[in-house]
Chain A
Amino acid sequence: MPLTIAQIGQELPIRKIGGKEETRRFLEGLGFVIGGLVTVVSEMNGNLIVKVKDSRVAISKEMANKIMV
């Protein structure tokens, strides 16, 4: 399922990252890699704050939709 519908507070492994090459690489640099764990900390109108590799990252709904967990 896309990260946007993941439950808040649940730690989940990343299965796939879609989207443009450029953004995907940027996400990889930030720690979003396949197999890595993410937790949704909070949600606002679809935009998410997620925890990945000990840091908090804010991502837009469009981006979060492309991250499959």
Chain B
Amino acid sequence: MKVKIALAGNPNSGKTTLFNALTGSNQFVGNWPGVTVEKKEGKIKGYTAKGEEAVLVDLPGIYSLSPYTLEEVVSRNFLISEKPDAIINIIDGTNLERNLYLTTQLTELGIPVIAAVNMMDLVRKNGEELNIERLAKDIGCKVVEISALKGEGIDQLAQRAVAIAKSGKNVQPAHRFEGCVEHAIAHIEEAVTGHVDASMERWYAVKLFERDKKVQESLKLDKVTLDHIEEDILSCEKEMDDDAESIITGERYNYIGSIIEDCYKKRVKEQMSVSDKIDRIVTNRFLALPIFALVMFAVYYVSVTTVGNFLTDWTNDTLFGEWIIPAARSGLEAIGCAEWLTGLLVDGIISGVGAVLGFVPQMLVLFLFLAFLEGCGYMARIAFIMDRIFRKFGLSGKSFIPMLIGIGCGVPGVMASRTIENDRDRKMTIMTTTFIPCGAKLPIIALIAGALFDGAPWVAPSAYFVGIAAIVCSGIILKKTKMFAGDPAPFVMELPAYHLPTVENVLRSTWERGWSFIKKAGTIILLSTIFVWFAQSFGFEGGSFGMVEDMDHSILAAIGSAIAWIFTPLGWGDWKAAVAAITGLVAKENVVGTFGILYGFGEVAEDGAEIWGSLAGSFTQAAAYSFLVFNLLCAPCFAAMGAIKREMNNIKWFWFAIGYQTILAYTVALCVYQIGTLATKGTFGIGTVVAFVLIVGFLYLLFRPYKERGGSYLER
């Protein structure tokens, strides 16, 4: 027998921890149909072997079943249309009142509900008492005490949940509303009888009473019935002197208040909790930013410079450089492998993919820190701290987290934009996140800084500055377009209590993000390194097609020469630079390697120290910086583009994002080169004029007035 159980609960109630504890590693992650809200499914442990199966579906974290956020709509549609056999409702025991609000709505659905009161260990530690039997009676469903973090009560919960799912017995909500509300609801129930499932009559009736638009549309009731219902609602509203939806909300909280009084014993006078004390300091108006800067510096310092750098160097130089590559080469030579095949395998695939995998340790260290910051609750505070600043250029504080993760890799960065509920804010965040120099762009910065600027210390910070400036300017410019006009959604976000995350959860989240990066190395990058290797090793030489001696005759050179003119106004219309920029689309870390190959040095160090001389010969400083800027801002690598496409969930928006990024990169790079050349060499030409025109246009877009909301263009 197969049963389907839904897991529902508030955000921050320990839902993910419980889901992991119940299902272990039997998970399947996907998307809810049509939206970018993540859907997780798993088989409950212990029920797979006996010819029985219990599938647990993790619903998004929600506060209620009203239809106002995407998460609520998704959860509601699932519960109504797919009718799971049971619902596990996880409740944060330290915050009963708010959590029970959702419970009162779930029990109306006519689906068996089992409530799992989480964090019971904390409740007891705080010296508070909760009478489980009474709670069960008051809310009208089974209640189990658990601690998802410590794994207490999980097995019991699983067994009971499966048992009630099999029994198929409906729950009757124990709560009743005020007399006149019940009267109206009873009338509505009569009206909808026959239109809906008998067990869900009450839920539909309550929703119709609230004038829920989505429910009204789905039922297709005739006008007479609707008018009849409206009469009932109006008379009740008159009696209660409030609007229908507020009446229901008020009634629910009243009822919850009486439950709490009945079964919950609080300590007499509560003092400030530890979380409140930490928040007093961490979100203090003077200390918040310095503390935040310090934390970020520490994370960045450890993961990029010290530990991360050490691990990356070891992977690149020792693991691949000294062990795998020489071993593979001699192994292939020993078995008499053809020269071209050895070349493909060693120089193409292993070196190419290896260069990418070299970043994995560094990235894992960064993701480990971020997972910890997320797990302990500080990440939510960061969004709060940054909100006022981000609001100034049209983004919300929640946009900061994707950008922070984007320092490591744009793919999980773009994916992290899912936590932003507002559609406009999310799209804008997706478009701008990859402007932040990711880990893979660092070698390009090091190459340009070393080769053309004598390793001047300002080059690397300036790259981050360019990235941040691009985000700020894009925020302002896009906000003034028709598509994004309007205020950013007001910032409302629950801040979880500070707590130490479990090792398992931190590692799991680290791994999930790291894995999305490794997957790209194994698929897209593998294919493209094979292509690049082929294109640079083969071509027409001496009238016939074959492996070429001189790379100038290769297919790659032909492609590069064909498109190089596009980049002439940017100062690097040389086919080698054009090819490097193209391979950068595959993966940014390829740019340095490509230069290495094209200048005939084969394997080069991460910062390309061997080719500094050659590069300095063919680039001017202005051209080099323009090349750097272009590569920082233009469309990111294929993997990140894939992530953008997935998160936008709309092909038009995807092309708009990519187009915007590329045009911006081209414009900025052109201005950098033309004006840089004017400043250093005094050359004035048509390009300089174009640059100045572009700057004026850019400034216009930046400083023109905001579009009036609800203004003329909307009315038209």
Contact = CB atoms under 8 A, between A and B. Distances in A.
Nearest to A26: B68
Interface string B208-242: 00000000000000000000000000000000000
Contacts of B103: none
Measured as residues with beta carbon below 8 angstroms from the partner, the interface class of chain B is 35 or more
B280 A36 contact: no
Interface in B444-467: none
B121 interface: no
A61 to B, nearest CB: 8
A13 to B, nearest CB: 13
* Most chain B beta carbons < 10 A, residue from A19, A29, A31, A36: A29
A45 interface: yes
Contacts of A30: 63, 98, 492, 494
B384 interface: yes
Interface in B620-653: none
A29 B99 CA distance: 9
A47 B491 CA distance: 9
B681 interface: no
A19 B171 CA distance: 36
Interface in B80-120: 94-98, 101-102
A2 B358 CA distance: 54
Contacts of B94: 54
B38 interface: no
B61 to A, nearest CB: 11
Contacts of B276: 41, 51, 56
A59 interface: yes
The main secondary structure of chain B at its interface with chain A is helix
Given A63-B490, A63-B492, A47 B388 contact: yes
A42 to B, nearest CB: 5
Contact of A25 (B95, B245, B387): B245
Contacts of B492: 23, 26-27, 30, 57-60, 63
Nearest to B245: A25
B391 interface: yes
A48 B387 CA distance: 11
A22 to B, nearest CB: 5
* Most chain A beta carbons < 10 A, residue from B245, B383, B388, B490: B490
Given A44-B288, A56-B279, A29 B495 contact: no
Nearest to B96: A54
B285 A56 contact: no
A55 B284 contact: no
A65 B279 CA distance: 22
A25 B66 contact: yes
Given A58-B380, A58-B492, A49 B283 contact: yes
The main secondary structure of chain A at its interface with chain B is mixed
Interface in A1-39: 19, 22-23, 25-31, 33-34, 36
B128 to A, nearest CB: 11
A28 B249 contact: yes
B388 A45 contact: yes
* Most chain A beta carbons < 10 A, residue from B98, B279, B280: B98
A54 B490 contact: no
* Most chain A beta carbons < 10 A, residue from B97, B276, B288, B384: B384
Contacts of A36: 253
B66 to A, nearest CB: 5
Nearest to B242: A34
B68 A46 contact: no
A6 to B, nearest CB: 15
Contacts of B495: 49, 55-58
Contact of A41 (B95, B280, B494): B280
Interface string B371-409: 000000000110111011001000000000000000000
A42 B279 contact: yes
Interface in B249-272: 249-250, 253
Interface of A: 19, 22-23, 25-31, 33-34, 36, 41-47, 49, 51-63
Given A30-B63, A55-B495, A58-B492, 12 more contacts: A23-B492, A25-B64, A26-B68, A28-B249, A33-B253, A36-B253, A47-B384, A51-B276, A57-B495, A58-B495, A60-B387, A60-B492
